[in-house]
Amino acid sequence: MDNPSFEFGMIGLGVMGRNLLLNMADHGFATIGFDKDAAKCTLLESSASPNTKVKGAATLKEMVQQLKKPRKLMMLVPAGPIVDSVINDLLPLLETGDIIIDGGNSFYKDTLRRITFLQEKKLHFIGMGVSGGEEGARKGPSIMPGGDLEAWQNLKPILEAISAKVPAADGKKEEPCVAYMGKAAAGHYVKMVHNGIEYAIMQLISEVYSILKNVVGLNNDELHTVFKKWNEGEMQSFLIEITKDILLQKDDLTNNSLVDMILDKAGSKGTGKWTSQEAMDLPIPLPTIDMAVAMRDMSVYKEDRTTAAALYKPKIKVYTGDKEKLIQQLHDALYCATILSYAQGLAMLHKASATLGMDIPLQDVVRIWRGGCIIRSSLLETFTSAFKKDKNLSNMLLNKKVAAIIKKKQSALRRVVQISANAKVPVAGLMSALSYFDSFTTEKMPTNLIQAQRDYFGAHTYQRTDKEGSFHTDWNR
Ligand code: 6PG
């Protein structure tokens, strides 16, 4: 066997694994990959750019043997038991100090378990979120590693080279969209919340699309023009950008717009649901993310919805007022609700950082989300300056600059919610964002009554506004 000459190994050569390896190779790293499907190894080699060193290994053993020590290996395999099974296959092949990276969307509690397991075997383990889809993996993703600091230092040059780049704060240099996300399973935790925010923003965009289409009455070309214009202004973002492209795509089979031929049942792989579940455990309120998960679930009940539609016959009211004005209000409402969605996710990270002892650097989270990832948007610049001012900001809505934007736009969100309710168009995401804002900015919530009820039927006690302590009343029964 030749001297080990490869710097990075990948297990799982699906499109993400292959593209990440090719990206590394383009940056001068000698890379080797393995997949049980030999055709994927061949495809890896044939896709390599000229003058790069890329190899597909026939076996896991062959790949491991050709890696320089300490070996750096990433798994990009489906989250769940397959990750454990790959780790078990690797164990007899590795040596003390080698580094295993899980770059998939693993559940962070699985990552915690794997960290402990691999620490006992004297192996480094990094749970790492990678965002940006196929294109991001090839051209520059946003990368969220967490856990083992020594391993991170070792991986830093490669990860910085392959990540997306954004202009640095001083506007001169560019900086990489990768940073250490905190202790233990912080990498996967941050990626989970990234996806929760992704779910919320996608839900909001779909609602605004629905109002523009059904209430304002725009066709797909007009919708494209609206989203294109929005993407050129303060609402510039990856998700708005792809939405404008989607609206122009024709269907090969029918020549209709493809979007109109797609069944309205949403899939999901679970990261949004985990965000909601984990938020409830912390606890921290995330109503817009919860609602985004719920609406994907609702979409699956197509048959019941069809029956109910025939039973209740909801008739959408087309808007008869000033349509241009409504389109501007929709822009502002979406902008406002998008900020409220980020605020919910970031507040969750703030709480989790302390409660779960992960020390998540929020200023770095928003900084590396500025490029490469699915939720990249010009808003991330605003959030980056907010965390620069106060790295312990518990809620983005408490930042003065953000407050100024929300103060200006919230009336549009309120108006759009009214119009949609009136027109019978479901906008659960927009409504929940507005309710989040209204409750977060309410000094006195009606929860005093809930406390009274709890004490009435269950002697659960309550606190008073004028004295310390907990109290129980023998209510007049
Ligand atoms: C990303 C995406 C990516 C993936 C999601 C889709 O950041 O690149 O979030 O991780 O597309 O897993 O999730 P759903 O299938 O749950 O929508």
Three-state SS sequence of the chain = CCCCCECEEEECCCHHHHHHHHHHHHCCCCEEEECCCHHHHHHHHHHCCCCCCEEEECCHHHHHHCECCCCEEEECCCCCHHHHHHHHHHHHHCCCCCEEEECCCCCHHHHHHHHHHHHHCCCEEEEEEEECHHHHHHHCCEEEEEECHHHHHHHHHHHHHHCCEEECCCCCCEEECECCCCCCCHHHHHHHHHHHHHHHHHHHHHHHHHHHHHHHCCCHHHHHHHHHHHHCCCCCEHHHHHHHHHCCCECCCCCCEHHHHCCCCCCCCCHHHHHHHHHHHCCCCCHHHHHHHHHHHHHHCHHHHHHHHHHHCCCCCCCCCCHHHHHHHHHHHHHHHHHHHHHHHHHHHHHHHHHCCCCCCHHHHHHHCCCCCCCCECHHHHHHHHHHHCCCCCCHHHCHHHHHHHHHHHHHHHHHHHHHHHHCCCCHHHHHHHHHHHHHCCCCCCHHHHHHHHHHHHCCCECCCCCCCCECCCCCC
Question: Ligand 1 mean position to 298 CA, how many Å?
Answer: 19
- Closest residue by CA, ligand 1 atom 2: 131
Task: Identify the residue whose C-alpha is closest to ligand 1 atom 9.
Answer: 195
User: Is 198 among the residues known to form the active site?
Assistant: yes
Q: Which of 55, 183, 191, 273 is catalytic?
A: 191
Is pLDDT of 87 > 80?
A: yes
- Which of 15, 105, 194 has the most ligand 1 atoms within 8 A of CB, as the residue to mutate? 105
- Cα(375) to centroid of ligand 1, in Å? 11
Q: Atom 11 (ligand 1): residue with closest C-alpha? A: 133
* Closest CA to ligand 1's atom 14: 268
> How confident is the model over 147-160, as a mean pLDDT?
97
Mean pLDDT of 259-280: 98
Q: Residue 168 has what pLDDT?
A: 85
Distance 270 CA to ligand 1 centre (A): 9
Q: Would you say 34 and 75 are in contact if contact means Cβ atoms under 8 Å apart?
A: no
Nearest residue CA, atom 4 of ligand 1?
133
Nearest CA to ligand 1 atom 12: 269
Asked if 135 is an active-site residue, the reply is no
Under the banding of pLDDT at 50, 70 and 90, the label for residue 476 is confident
- Which residues does ligand 1 sit against, CB inside 6 Å? 105, 131-133, 195, 198, 267-269, 271-272, 373-374
pLDDT over 80 (residue 171): no
> pLDDT at residue 256 above 70?
yes
Give residue-wise pLDDT tens across range 287-310. 999 999 999 999 999 999 999 999
Domains and CATH numbers, the chain: 8-180 (3.40.50.720), 189-440 (1.10.1040.10), 450-477 (1.20.5.320)
The average confidence (pLDDT) of the chain is 97
- Annotated active-site residue in 7, 175, 198, 278: 198
The pLDDT, as a whole number, for residue 138 is: 97
- pLDDT of 322 reads 97
* pLDDT band with cut points at 50, 70 and 90 for residue 126: very high
* Residue 2 scores a pLDDT above 70: no
pLDDT(115) > 90:
yes
Alpha-carbon distance 18 to 48, whole Å?
9
pLDDT score recorded for residue 477: 73
Centre of ligand 1 to C-alpha 148, Å, is 25
> Which residue owns the Cα nearest ligand 1 atom 17?
268
Query: How far away, in angstroms, is 393 Cα from ligand 1 center?
Result: 27
Q: Indicate if the pLDDT at residue 170 is higher than 80.
A: no
pLDDT on residue 1: 56
Task: Pick from 374, 376, 377 the residue to mutate for probing ligand 1's pocket: most ligand atoms within 8 Å of its CB.
Answer: 374
Residue 405 has pLDDT above 60, yes or no: yes
Q: How far is the CA of 30 from the centre of ligand 1 (A)?
A: 28
Report the nearest atom of ligand 1 relative to the CA of 202. 17
Q: What's the mean pLDDT in 350-354?
A: 98
Per-residue pLDDT, 16: 97
For a substitution probing ligand 1, which of 269, 296, 375 has the most ligand atoms within 8 Å of its CB?
269
- Choose one of 202, 271, 276 to mutate for the ligand 1 pocket test, by most ligand atoms within 8 angstroms of C-beta: 271
Confidence of residue 446 (pLDDT cuts 50, 70, 90): very high
Provide the pLDDT for residue 173: 87
Distance 410 CA to ligand 1 centre (A): 29
Closest ligand 1 atom, CA of 195? 9
pLDDT in tens, 31-85: 999 999 999 999 999 999 999 999 999 999 999 999 999 999 999 999 999 999 9
* Rounded distance from Cα 14 to ligand 1 centre (Å): 15
What pLDDT does 343 receive? 99
The atom number, within ligand 1, closest to the CA of 270 reads 16
Q: What is the pLDDT of residue 459?
A: 97
